[in-house]
Amino acid sequence: MTTYTLAASSLDCSDPGPLADFWAALLGGEVAFSSEDFVGVKHARGWLAAIRVEGYEPPTWPGGDRPKQLHLDVSVDDLDVAQARAVELGATAPANQPQPDRWRVLLDPAGHPFCLTTQIPD
């Protein structure tokens, strides 16, 4: 029987370098491969890639013309500290926060929504 392991997630964007730098810094990873159209970030739990897509338009969150399609959840110990660090690295915090005591919705530099949460067990 074949086994399946999720090995990487890829994010579309208009400029992969800055997006990969953001995620590498946030996750404590490193840029392991870089080209004009693709940047691979190696982190403790796998890989995250930023891929250039011509005409890329970020999702509109929480509603709007372009749905989020996918979002990443990042487990943290302290929501306030983690949010401050993510914003310092280039994330933005939208005003709409459905359950800020459980998770914080942020947008990465390319506009992808992601959540910081204390609700995911190790």
- pLDDT tens by residue, 45-61: 899 999 999 999 999 98
Q: Where are the domains of the chain?
A: 9-54+68-117
Bridge partners of residue 104, in order along the sequence: 116
Q: State the average pLDDT for the chain.
A: 92
Give 122's pLDDT tier (boundaries 50, 70, 90). Answer: low
How confident is the model at residue 4, as a pLDDT?
A: 66
Q: Which residue has the higher pLDDT, 1 or 77?
A: 77
Fold assignment, 9-54+68-117: 2,3-Dihydroxybiphenyl 1,2-Dioxygenase; domain 1 (3.10.180)
